[in-house]
Structure 1
Amino acid sequence: MRLILFICLLFSCALQANTLNTKLNRYTQLVFDYSLVPSDSPEKIPVNTWQRVESGQVNLGLGNSPVWLKFKINNNTQMQQELFLFNAFVHIDKLTLYQKGNNLTQTQLTLGDSMPIKTRYLKDADQIFKLSLSPNTHYEYYIKAETAGVMKLNLSLWQHDKYIEKKAKFNLIMGLILGVMFASSLILSVLFLITKKQSFALAAVFNICVWFLFAWLLGYVYRYISDQSFWLIHTIIPALTIFVLVPLNILTERILGLHSLAKPHVACLRITLGISLALVVIAPFLSYTIALTVAVIFALIHVLILLLVTGIRAQKKDTKAQLLVVCILPLLITLLYKGALLFSYSIYFSQLMVVFGVSYLISCIALTLIAISQYIQQRDIKVSQQQKRLAEAEANEAIQSETIRLQELHQEELESKIQQRTFELEVTLRELQEKNLELEELNTLDALTGLRNRRHFDKKITMEFRRSRREQTPLAVVMLDIDHFKPINDEYGHLAGDEAIKYVAASIKGALRRPSDIACRYGGEEFALILPNTDSQGAKLVSETIRQNIAKHAIKTSSGDVKLTISAGIFSKVADASLDPNQYTDWADKALYSAKQQGRNRVLIADSTQSPKDPEEL
């Protein structure tokens, strides 16, 4: 009986600890009792299982079991007091507040990271209950706390204005720290886009991961990004705790150049890197409690390995290694604090956030400076190499210029001789070309008549045939022959025959008006005309003019006057794939033969719709 009375007295003293005799000016830590006995109702919990907390805070480490708290508040003043009940640790999944009255326990409010932010009195990451205390009234409360992570409770009563003032200052400091971290990430990202250096990208990834981790610790992910991110946080945070050291691991090897200096260190770092990546993949599939414990322990091991490797290099007066030590040491401090939270060591949360913020900020700034200094050093080395190459190039250029000057001195005399010899050769070539042109001209002229010869005719008919086919214009060929030329030779002699041929040639020349028309002596007393862009009627008009001019006048020769007539055959058609140049001559020749057969002294047009016939058939 005495034992029961003693326990009740002790319990009563605990409940009487939170007494307000005057208006609360700022805040006061809450004295409470807690119990780890699983129960649906606090009335069912044995009295002797309650444990008293005078400091207002308790850290129970990781655990999935709910914790019950109870406390009593006595408002002994004559005024209504509106207070905030504030839990400084923002990462409790669920807090349910009960008020006891009339022997009944009534639920007042439920909040936590697993609940939407709209359920909170203040739309903030902090977990706050609003309490309205009437004058001279005693209140008894219970809180049921549930979380899958660290069970840390730090309860205090705050006057409204003072809490808001304190929160504003805290947010300002934390906002500045986050802003600097984010600015450093942005600067590194821009430098990566400009320089394409992977060290900037890795440093930017590290800074962004640290920024996200710190924002989560402050509860800003819940407040500003998504209040429904409970499942995402439990999935990503353990993996991110491990992954944040991956870019730092890669950067350590690259910045210190360990691949060429310390093979065992490289092997150690790469093994740690491989395990880290494996755990990043596995962590989302583990329970939050296990994943968070494994993440913190392995991250601590990873940091110690990085610190050992960089410390060895730092002892050799390596400036980069010393800066890396400055970057890694704050991470070690934060992980030690996280380990203390996991294993139930009591740490005041506001102080913890300041430590975390300063540590993360130092790490981000140090790594940013390392990445920038490495780039500047590489740039200076590159500039030095470029200057060295430029100096070598200038020296080579000077040598080359002197060599060229000497060559030019010898070349001037050589060029003078070459120019003189070249001029002589050009004169000789020009004379040779002129002679060749004269010979070519003579080769295409008939010596007796001055007309083009058969060789020129064969060349030109092919050219005009192609033009007719290309431009789709008619091409006419006229074959002319002096009638009864053999009797003239026999009766008047060969000299008179030559004069008759020259007279016919002159008549043909006089009848052709266009530069494109070509008259040729085809052979003996036979002539051929090439009339481009001329149809059958046009060719007949030209041929008739020639025939009439010759038949109209007798030729005066040394042997007497000679009366001449000519016969002509015409073929005109647009060239196509079914024809060839020789067929024009054949058709015109067949038409000439028909003119001879029909009595001579006439012009006939070949019928292109029929195949040309042999003379015997005609």
Structure 2
Amino acid sequence: MVRLLPRKPTVAQPAPMEWWARMGGHRLLPGLFVLVVLVLVLVALVTLRDGAARATPPAEPTLLPESVELLQTADPSTDPADVASSDQWQRRTLPLNLGLTGDTVWLRVAFEGPNEASGQPWVLHLDNASLNRADLWLYEEDEAPARVHYRTGQRYPFSERPIEDSAFAFPLALKPETAYRAYLRVETHAHMRIPLTLMPMDAYINERLTHRIIQGAYFGLMLVIALASLVIFFSIRDRAYLYYFGFILTTGLWFFIRQGFAEQYLWPDWPWWSDRAYIVMMAAGAGMSVLFTREFLSLRTCHPPLFRIMTVLLWVWGIMALYALFVPSITTLKLISVILLIGGSLLLYSGIAAWHKGILEARFYVFAWTIIIIGAIALMLSHMALLPGDNRPFLVFQIGSALEGFLLSIGLAMRLNMAMRARAEAEHEALEMTAHLQRQTIEDQKRHAAELESHVEERTLELRQTMEQLASANEELEQLSIVDPLTGVYNRRHLTSQLHREWKRACREQVPLSMIMMDIDYFKLLNDTYGHMAGDRCLVELAKLLQEEVQRTSDILARFGGEEFVIVLPNTAIAGAEHLAERIRSRAEAHRVETENHRLAFTLSLGVASQIPGPGSDAEELVRRSDNALYEAKEAGRNRVVVAHELPS
């Protein structure tokens, strides 16, 4: 019970990817590539199936109609009254995909409220976080002015959103069986997708929670890959790992922006940057991919012309990032998309060329870049309005980026393995050179007999001194191996060996062998309350107290583990062991431990067992009995000595 009173050894690790080489990994590469592509296809199919399932009309009536009215115009008007009477309205089916367009898009949706009051608001969810502006007007039947008017988008601070979420959502208090008419005005410098759903608040919360869990897994994976690359860079100073860290970081940040999390967590009150971050980070990520490609594929040495082309492409991406910073527009995004297609093809070609030149890790690069291009094609088709307006193409691209990161990590591990192998070979050559020089020295010594004799005597003296130093070091090492470094008493390893020795002697001589097992009561509470330093101080003080009590040279005092100590008493009957245990308990209860800020006290629970070993028994039986007695002492209230029932000899 606790009361308040007034260098780890370095373990050699196998070289990275040794397991891959032992298993014939190079022969498994085609199968690995097929497997990864298959996983991508299966995930894509599952995503498509999920999207199709959600696109299927639910069994219960939905408030939104299957089709809405669409008006696409260059008119900057922001009042529904200015466009309501236009004859350019078209009926379209949700979700809408208008591709890359700089026009202002109006939606007009007529629907009725729920059949009965649900007691909770409804949410109109606009699942596209890349919209610069989204305005909603809700009219009840034909009345005017608008019953509800919301204004949101990347151009406005995050705190002004109707619902504080990474996506755009509008809370609506709908009356049962009431006719409504909604106008939605949308602008964007990015992809004009309008996936629109209307659901109760609790359904919306569940859907967003699932979305965040999935996205959290993805960003966690990307963060682990990035940090691992940074750690390796600081370890071996290979710039390929630094550039890979930058590539993974900018790629993950682009997806973070694309999903709307950046506005929520990174720059909620900086709409100027939010309006530009999507395009700027796309160019920055492409630039980092070029830097990584140049270094990873060693293009400077294996293919100088491609290296120069990559340098020009790097400058292009730097200029495009600055241009997008000051001119965020749909035209800028289209230009960047074209350069992405050209640049992505050049990067893939660079990987194939490096593979042809014998750069083994280039194989993983080609596989990874092929996968990301598959996802990019799906995204580009969506940008061209050739795919539905839901989120599936983007999810395929996001999955492809995760698989790309995984494959490139394998390639980097192979690169690290090859570098370490080259270093080992250089060290081996150095050792061979050293051996050669030693042989030459021996031959010289044979030609100079007198010098050889002198040298032999000197070396003999040095060897004798070295052996003496080694013997001394071995003695110190042996002592360290059997002594607990904190308390200075024997450790459990030494206790085990000595206990078996004393058990055999007691069996041979048929004399009793006793054991006291103890630990500090409520030691965990002591650690939690006063800190581990105070706990360690208590352990040291207890060890000193026990050393004062254990006087016979044949007795063995050891730290059994944690706050547990054991005393082995050869040729000692149970009465003597119990007497010693009670004396220790009493002294411990009266002892006080002085720390920097506190004066602590502690108590002990002790279990005592004694036995005359017989045939077929072992020392572990004595340990079990004393441990059971200690447990009984704990159960009985602690701060006491419990004696195990003595067994017949």
The TM-score normalised by the length of structure 1 is 0.58
Equivalent residue for 2:72, pick from 22, 31, 36 = 36
CA contact (8 A) 1:241 1:296 kept: no
The equivalences for 1:38-53 within 5 A come to 38=75, 39-45=77-83, 46=85, 48-53=87-92
Q: Which residue of 2 aligns with 1:267?
A: 308
Deviation string 1:416-466 (CA, Å, 9 cap, x unpaired) is xxxxxxxxxxxxxxxxxxxxxxxxxxxxxxxxxxxxxxxxxxxxxxxxxxx
Equivalent residue for 1:403, pick from 439, 444, 450 = 444
CA contact (8 A) 1:62 1:289 kept: yes
Q: Which residue of 1 aligns with 2:336?
A: 295
Aligned residue-pair number: 394
Is 1:375 the counterpart of 2:375? The answer is: no
Letter in 2 for 1:98: W
Q: Which residue of 1 aligns with 2:115?
A: 77
Q: Which residue of 2 aligns with 1:472?
A: none
Aligned-residue offset at 1:410: 5.8
Change (3 A) 1:303 1:126: same
Q: Which residue of 2 aligns with 1:95?
A: 134
CA contact (8 A) 1:31 1:53 kept: yes
Equivalent residue for 2:326, pick from 270, 285, 291 = 285
Question: Which range is displaced more, 186-195 or 243-252?
Answer: 243-252
Q: Secondary structure at the match of 1:283?
A: helix
Is 1:147 the counterpart of 2:185? The answer is: no
Identical-pair percentage = 17
CA contact (8 A) 1:189 1:201 kept: yes
Distance of 1:90 and 1:83 partners within structure 2 = 20
Aligned-residue offset at 1:325: 1.2
The equivalences for 1:448-459 within 5 A come to none
Bigger Cα Rg? 1
Q: Secondary structure at the match of 1:319?
A: coil
Distance of 2:431 and 2:388 partners within structure 1 = 62
Change (3 A) 1:402 1:151: same
Letter in 2 for 1:189: L
Is 1:172 the counterpart of 2:208? The answer is: no
The TM-score normalised by the length of structure 2 is 0.56
CA contact (8 A) 2:125 2:170 kept: yes
CA contact (8 A) 1:296 1:335 kept: no
Change (3 A) 1:301 1:413: closer
Change (3 A) 1:64 1:257: closer
Distance of 1:253 and 1:228 partners within structure 2 = 37
Deviation string 1:487-534 (CA, Å, 9 cap, x unpaired) is xxxxxxxxxxxxxxxxxxxxxxxxxxxxxxxxxxxxxxxxxxxxxxxx
Question: Which range is displaced more, 377-386 or 68-77?
Answer: 68-77
Change (3 A) 1:272 1:119: closer
Aligned-residue offset at 1:32: 1.5
Aligned-residue offset at 1:76: 6.0
Equivalent residue for 1:59, pick from 90, 97, 114 = 97
Q: Which residue of 2 aligns with 1:424?
A: none
Aligned-residue offset at 1:164: 1.8
Aligned-residue offset at 1:195: 1.6
Output the aligned Cα RMSD: 3.0
Change (3 A) 1:175 1:73: same
Q: Which residue of 1 aligns with 2:144?
A: 104
Aligned-residue offset at 1:289: 2.4
Distance of 2:452 and 2:79 partners within structure 1 = 112
Aligned-residue offset at 1:51: 1.1
Aligned-residue offset at 1:40: 4.4
Distance of 2:277 and 2:88 partners within structure 1 = 37
CA contact (8 A) 1:218 1:353 kept: no
Distance of 1:411 and 1:139 partners within structure 2 = 108
Q: Could you list the runs of 5+ residues in structure 2 that have no partner in the other structure?
A: 1-56, 456-649
Distance of 1:272 and 1:336 partners within structure 2 = 21
Aligned-residue offset at 1:58: 1.4
Change (3 A) 1:281 1:85: closer
The equivalences for 1:420-459 within 5 A come to none
Distance of 2:432 and 2:439 partners within structure 1 = 10
Q: Secondary structure at the match of 2:171?
A: strand
Is 1:115 the counterpart of 2:183? The answer is: no
Letter in 2 for 1:95: A
Structure possessing the higher relative contact order (Cα contacts under 8 Å, 6 or more residues apart): 2
Letter in 1 for 2:295: R
CA contact (8 A) 1:29 1:155 kept: no
Question: Which range is displaced more, 169-178 or 28-37?
Answer: 28-37
